[in-house]
């Protein structure tokens, strides 16, 4: 299948700078390997990011502007038959990529691999950083973040989070009645990463027309992958990360869109995170290219 890489160079969703440089760097590294098509989206250089602690909607309009453009392009390219691989950028850009996929592929599930659950609302957020709200927005909360989307939201019953270990108390409450399935790092330790991922695919794939996979690099332990904006200790190991990739590739037939986000080159140490990100991307790209004739929804 033909791939299209979307570089989403935005760090507007987080008060820490640097994630906007991630896609440029990774796409440059991929040049010797990747011969498919790509597009770059870069945030306006003249934006002064909000640093105001009491601002609960940091850079809301700038994020919306960035995502509107990204969403529209992605919808067109997915309609043209491309498999979209999005490289972030902070996780706020995925509101555009996941909903673009939902718009074209209609009823899809989502697997969110992340140390955080990204399930805050404008009312619950403590930091006002919009990269803490995207999954809730994709499920239909935070509608101000999705005004450009004229398709369905992804159902909470088909939404699975894998690797969570940092959940705000208010977020926990929203998640409790949302219907979202949350697998923590403790669940992974207990049952093994393979069993958890298989379960995730079962839930996200149940009676859906495909699955969107969103991979936040901060799920990996920061000793191994320090190059992220909000590191959380006690993350998964590199072996577990590559095992997750293996299971993703095994289920490639079901997958309709993929993101790798939150690489922050300014926080990386000895290019450790960059190497892991490249390994993940190289494997996914190869698997997508090998993806056989896949029956897509007729639109």
Q: Does 91 interact with Mn ion (rule: CB under 5 A)?
A: yes
Stretch of residues binding Mn ion (CB under 5 A), selected from 18-26, 60-68, 111-119, 239-247: 111-119
Measure the N-to-C terminal CA separation of the chain; round to a whole number of Å: 18
Of 40-48, 118-126, 146-154, 251-259, which segment contacts Mn ion by CB under 5 A?
118-126
Give the count of residues interacting with Mn ion (CB under 5 A). Answer: 4
Binding mask 124-163 for Mn ion (x = CB under 5 A): ----------------------------------------
**Among 114, 168, 221, 274, which residue sits at the site for Mn ion (rule: CB under 5 A)?**
114
Is residue 118 a contact point for Mn ion (CB under 5 A)? yes
Sign of the C-alpha dihedral computed for residues 54, 141, 59 and 23 taken in this order: positive
The DSSP symbol for 220 reads: B
- Is 216 a binder of Mn ion (CB under 5 A)? yes
DSSP string covering 137-198, please? HHTTS-GGGGTT--SPPPPGGGEEEEEE-B--HHHHHHHHHHT-EEEEHHHHHHH-HHHHHH
- Residue number with CB closer to Mn ion (118 or 268): 118
Residue 46, classified by CB atoms within 10 Å of its CB into exposed (0-12), middle (13-18) or buried (19+), is exposed
Nearer to Mn ion, 133 or 211 (CB): 133
Q: How far apart are CA 277 and CA 17, in angstroms?
A: 19
Stretch that binds Mn ion, among 98-106, 107-115, 151-159, 272-280 (CB under 5 A): 107-115
Angle at 215 between CA 211 and CA 220, to 5 degrees: 145
Q: Which is nearer to Mn ion, 77 or 146 (CB)?
A: 146
By beta-carbon proximity to Mn ion, the closer residue of 104 and 196 is 196
β-strand 109-113 against 181-184: which pairing, if any? unpaired
> Which spans of this chain sit near Mn ion (rule: CB under 5 A)?
91, 114, 118, 216
């Amino acid at each position: 299948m033909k791939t299209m890489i979307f570089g989403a160079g935005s760090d507007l969703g987080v008060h820490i700078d640097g994630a906007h440089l991630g896609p440029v760097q990774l796409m440059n590294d991929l040049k010797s390997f990747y011969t498919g098509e790509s597009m770059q989206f870069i945030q306006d250089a003249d934006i002064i990011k909000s640093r105001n602690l009491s601002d609960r909607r940091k850079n809301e309009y700038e994020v919306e502007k960035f995502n509107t453009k990204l969403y529209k392009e992605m919808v067109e390219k997915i309609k043209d038959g491309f498999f979209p691989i999005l490289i972030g950028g902070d996780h706020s850009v995925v509101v555009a990529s996941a909903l673009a996929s939902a718009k074209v592929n209609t009823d899809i599930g989502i697997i969110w691999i992340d140390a955080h659950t990204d399930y805050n609302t404008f009312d619950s957020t403590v930091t006002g950083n919009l990269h803490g709200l995207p999954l809730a927005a994709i499920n239909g909360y935070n509608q101000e973040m999705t005004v450009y989307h004229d398709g369905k939201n992804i159902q909470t019953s088909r939404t699975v989070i894998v690797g969570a270990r940092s959940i705000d108390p208010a977020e926990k409450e929203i998640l409790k009645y949302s219907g979202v399935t949350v697998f923590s790092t403790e669940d992974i330790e207990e049952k093994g990463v393979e069993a958890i991922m298989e379960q995730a695919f079962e839930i996200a794939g149940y009676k859906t027309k495909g699955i969107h996979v969103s991979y936040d690099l901060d799920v990996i332990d920061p000793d191994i992958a320090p190059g992220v904006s909000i590191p959380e200790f006690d993350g998964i190991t590199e072996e577990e990360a590559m095992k997750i990739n293996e299971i993703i590739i095994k289920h490639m037939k079901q997958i309709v869109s993929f993101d790798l986000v939150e690489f922050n080159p300014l926080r990386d140490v000895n290019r450790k995170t960059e190497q892991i990100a490249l390994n993940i991307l190289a494997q996914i790209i190869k698997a997508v290219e090998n993806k056989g004739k896949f029956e897509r929804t007729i639109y």
